[in-house]
């Protein structure tokens, strides 16, 4: 069966790569307020991953090994390179595990490789129509709220910390949302709310960032910080629906080959861009100050893109040789 291509997903993946990379440019811009939005980019990535994992045909063993290796080979290559040049240190068995086995140093990789497991079974055995998705999402939300109320430290705002366990609920919910929107796309189901959807999208994005600023500034509101994740989830739903409704426009954009070539390249290199950027950004922000903007931004961005291209070329060569 021919694989169905959704152009809006290609664009969203490229956009997510830009948002996440931009959020790591602390110390690059004249003001660090511009370097923001990383969590929004993260949830886009997880939901896109869910969207692309619908109806897996292989057995779980074959499927998970193939998925893991395609990610781990990229991680192993860049980690070895950065270790050889002294950017990373692997001095113990624990360090080895954190870099190569369960790479918590790359929080996205560590989370997605584990969430692939339940997502596979949901994608294969549950049709995520509106009813099934709503019930599953509600169950996860109730479980999250229970743990939040009973065990979570609500004395300060930290619910969007990507390295704390509570964030797994957000990742799982967004992957589930991606699966649901794949069902919507396959069945050509869209919300009929006309041009108002763009107004709603603007309001939700504004509300998300405003609520985050509010929780950060006003510690008295920290017991209610879970509201920020609920707002983010609704924002993500709105983004997906708006972009899904614009699929025909993205199909037209695909006809502009030069523009689409850039979008496609960024979409194809998202993992590599993510893996190479930390060391490069750290290197340039160490030797240059914000006063060098925009020269520092140009050098960092070009270096990331070149390094990502080289990493993908090497990784794809290994993957093809291994016939993965």
DSSP codes of every residue in 212-265: HHHHHH-GGGGGGTHHHHHHHHHHHHHHHHHHHHTHHHHHHHHTSHHHHHHHHH
Residue 192 in 3-state DSSP? coil
Question: What are the average pLDDT values for consecutive 10-residue runs of the chain, which has 324 residues?
Answer: 75 95 93 90 94 82 91 96 92 91 90 94 90 94 95 92 91 96 89 86 94 91 93 95 91 86 95 96 91 93 97 94 76
CA gap 179, 138 in Å, rounded: 15
pLDDT for 3 equals 58
Per-residue pLDDT, 1? 40
- Among 235, 132, 111, residue whose Cα is nearest residue 179: 132
Task: Judge contact between 324 and 69, C-beta under 8 A.
Answer: yes
State residue 40's pLDDT score: 94
Instruction: Please tell me the predicted confidence (pLDDT) of residue 2.
Output: 44
Helix axes 7-23, 247-254, angle to 10 degrees: 90
> In the prediction, which pLDDT does 234 show?
95
């Amino acid at each position: 069966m021919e694989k169905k291509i959704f152009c809006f997903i290609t664009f969203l993946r490229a956009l997510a790569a830009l948002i996440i990379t931009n959020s790591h440019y602390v110390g690059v811009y004249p003001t660090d307020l511009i370097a923001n939005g990383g969590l929004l980019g993260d949830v886009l990535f997880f939901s896109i991953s869910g969207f692309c994992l619908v109806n897996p045909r292989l057995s779980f063993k074959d499927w998970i090994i193939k998925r893991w290796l395609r990610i781990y080979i990229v991680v192993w290559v860049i980690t070895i390179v950065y270790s050889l040049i002294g950017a990373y240190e692997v001095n113990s068995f624990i360090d080895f595990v954190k870099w190569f086995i369960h790479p918590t140093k790359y929080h996205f990789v560590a989370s997605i490789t584990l969430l692939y497991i339940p997502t596979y079974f949901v994608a294969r055995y549950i049709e995520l129509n509106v009813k099934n998705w709503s019930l599953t999402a509600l169950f996860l939300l109730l479980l999250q709220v229970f743990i939040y109320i009973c065990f979570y430290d609500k004395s300060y705002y930290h619910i969007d910390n990507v390295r704390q366990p509570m964030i797994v609920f957000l990742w799982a919910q967004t992957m589930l949302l991606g699966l649901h929107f794949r069902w919507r796309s396959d069945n050509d189901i869209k919300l009929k709310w006309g041009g108002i959807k763009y107004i709603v999208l603007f309001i939700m994005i504004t509300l998300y960032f405003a609520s985050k600023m509010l929780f950060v500034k006003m510690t008295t509101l920290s017991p209610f910080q879970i509201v920020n994740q609920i707002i983010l989830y609704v924002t993500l739903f709105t983004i997906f629906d708006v972009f899904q409704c614009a699929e025909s426009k993205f199909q037209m954009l695909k006809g502009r080959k030069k523009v689409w070539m850039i979008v496609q390249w960024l979409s194809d290199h998202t993992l590599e861009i993510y893996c190479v950027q930390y060391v490069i950004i750290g290197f340039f922000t160490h030797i240059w100050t914000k006063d060098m903007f925009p020269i520092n931004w140009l050098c960092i961005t070009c270096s990331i893109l070149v390094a990502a291209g080289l990493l993908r070329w090497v990784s794809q060569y290994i993957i093809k040789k291994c016939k993965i």
